[in-house]
Amino acid sequence: MSRRPIVAGNWKMNGTVEATAELINALKAKTLSAVHCDLLIFPPNVFLAQAKTLAGPEMAVGAQDLSEHDSGAYTGEVSAQMLQSLGLKFVLVGHSERRQYHNESNELVAKKALQALQSGITPIVCVGESLEQREAGQVNAVISEQLDAIKSKLSLADLTKIVIAYEPVWAIGTGKTASPEQAQEVHKEIRAWLSEQSEEAANKVRILYGGSVNANNAKELLAQPDIDGGLVGGASLNADSFFDIANAIG
């Protein structure tokens, strides 16, 4: 089965109303129809409505996070239904920065993934290991534990509807990148884990690489057989570099 690649830009906590308009308009000026991938952008929550209004049909807008709760007295939280009412189709869950700085557990990430799916939103479930865990030979064990938590909350049918993003924590915002071979090795293990759940999941679920993806390393990374696109951080804040990454997919 052919999986359509995704190139997703996570803007993190960056931007203003003016900068959001400038970046989206700069992207729209590119020949987006020529890229062989789904193009997604993830602005901060306060700019989601603006981004959704500005983005054309060739660019989808997603949220960087959501609440595990339906609604209620949860100040500062944003629910799946709120994102759905904006017409959003994607949301990041379990990004390493959420896990690290907000102490999000595997179980909480799984609850958020379920909330998204129940509102018809595709969760991009982020998994990955720290440098210490990699050096201790725990990569597969750490990622399996993160994925097992997701499996415990989702039906087998729902599991086929998620996207997985592998982001080695040691390569995020550091300028370090897993080599194409290192990245492919982990993506292959994730695909094998999916295969243990069902062949449909292994065939359908798109697995993205996230970890200092840029215009220089994208082509080689995205050419690997089990890498179905990229979750791009800093390079997505520049229209030229983000487009170059998307264009690297042949």
User: What does the alpha-carbon distance between residue 91 and residue 122 come to, in Å, rounded to a whole number?
Assistant: 6
Contact 123, 163 (CB under 8 A): yes
pLDDT for position 51: 98
Contact 244, 19 (CB under 8 A): no
pLDDT for position 91: 98
Strand partners, 229: 6
Give the helix/strand (H/E) hosting 34: none
DSSP 3-state of 221: helix
Determine phi and psi for 92, rounding to 5 degrees: -80, 140
Q: Is 108 exposed, middle or buried (0-12, 13-18, 19+ CB in 10 A)?
A: middle
- Of 77, 63, 74, 158, whose CA–CA distance to 110 is shortest? 158
pLDDT for position 212: 85
User: What does the alpha-carbon distance between residue 101 and residue 15 come to, in Å, rounded to a whole number?
Assistant: 20
Query: Which of these is catalytic: 68, 97, 167, 187?
Result: 167
Q: How far apart are the first and last CA of the chain?
A: 17
| 129 is an active site residue | no
Tally of CB atoms within 10 A around 136: 12
- Of 218, 250, 232, 225, whose CA–CA distance to 14 is shortest? 232
Q: How many helices (H) and strands (E) does the chain have?
A: 12, 8
- Ordered alpha helix ranges (H), 29-155: 48-54, 80-85, 96-101, 106-118, 131-135, 139-153
Interhelix angle for 106-118 vs 139-153, to 10°? 40
User: What does the alpha-carbon distance between residue 58 and residue 39 come to, in Å, rounded to a whole number?
Assistant: 7
pLDDT for position 87: 97
Query: Which of these is catalytic: 68, 95, 97, 129?
Result: 95
Stretches in the chain below the pLDDT threshold 50? none
| 196 is an active site residue | no
- Of 130, 247, 125, whose CA–CA distance to 194 is shortest? 125
Q: Are strands 6-10 and 229-232 parallel, antiparallel or unpaired?
A: parallel
